[in-house]
Amino acid sequence: MDKYLGDDDKTARFEAMAMPHLDAAYNLARWLTRNQHDADDLVQSAYLRAFRFADGFRGGDVRAWLLTIVRHTYYSTLRDGQAQRGDVSFDEALHGGDDDSADPAAIAASRDTGRTVNAALAQLPQAFREVLVLKEMDDLSYKQIAEVTETPIGTVMSRLARARKLLLAYLKHGEQDGI
């Protein structure tokens, strides 16, 4: 019976440590999988792994640690052939805030802009999209991104610069096409 009391303590510690970062984990999973259902599954699997190995966490940046687990879970799922190949773009309407007081025209314009940016972001190669999402949407530092992606800071900076240039090119190309 004492064994189960320790499990309750572990659960409470894990929840206090990990739950504040659930949105960031889901955001990364959403952009990695490009599918809401797969993102839900990925975050659930990653959090189960994190819970299982929480005793091994020795301090540091919890957010970076969790996002690394999300990323590793995604790539191991791909490697093991478990991922479905859904290609659904990120839906701003699902993840944006609701402001009932806003002008309907402004809401429509914002949704159109969001769709355009999301479509351009979805065209980026995986490595570029990953660092851009971690930096611009999850607001991670270069050091944290380097930890999550297991790449040198210089590579992170280079990928981020290239990702921004490519994104801008895709957005300009989309404007010319009337998208």
Confidence of residue 71 (pLDDT cuts 50, 70, 90): very high
Two structure tokens written together for 93: 């309407």
Q: Tell me, what's the pLDDT at 146?
A: 94
- Helices 22-33 and 62-79: crossing angle, nearest 10°? 30
CA 116, CA 80: separation in Å to the nearest integer?
33
Q: What is the mean pLDDT of residues 46-65?
A: 90
List pLDDT tens digits, range 114-151. 788 888 888 889 899 999 999 988 889 999 999 999 99
Nearest to 161 by CA among 124, 122, 116, 119: 124
List pLDDT tens digits, range 85-104. 433 344 444 444 444 445 66
Residue 25: its H or E element: helix 22-33
105 pLDDT exceeds 80?
no
- CATH architecture of residue range(s) 2-79: Orthogonal Bundle (1.10)
CATH topology of domain 105-176: Arc Repressor Mutant, subunit A (1.10.10)
Q: What is the mean pLDDT of the chain?
A: 80
Domain ranges of the chain: 2-79, 105-176
What percent of the chain clears pLDDT 90, i.e. is strictly above it?
46
Residue 25's contacts (CB-CB under 8 Å, 6 or more residues apart) are 43, 46, 47, 66, 67, 70
Q: What are phi and psi of 152, to 5 degrees?
A: -65, 155
Report whether 74 contacts 32 (CB < 8 A). yes
List pLDDT tens digits, range 21-43. 999 999 999 989 988 999 999 99
> What does pTM read for this prediction?
0.65
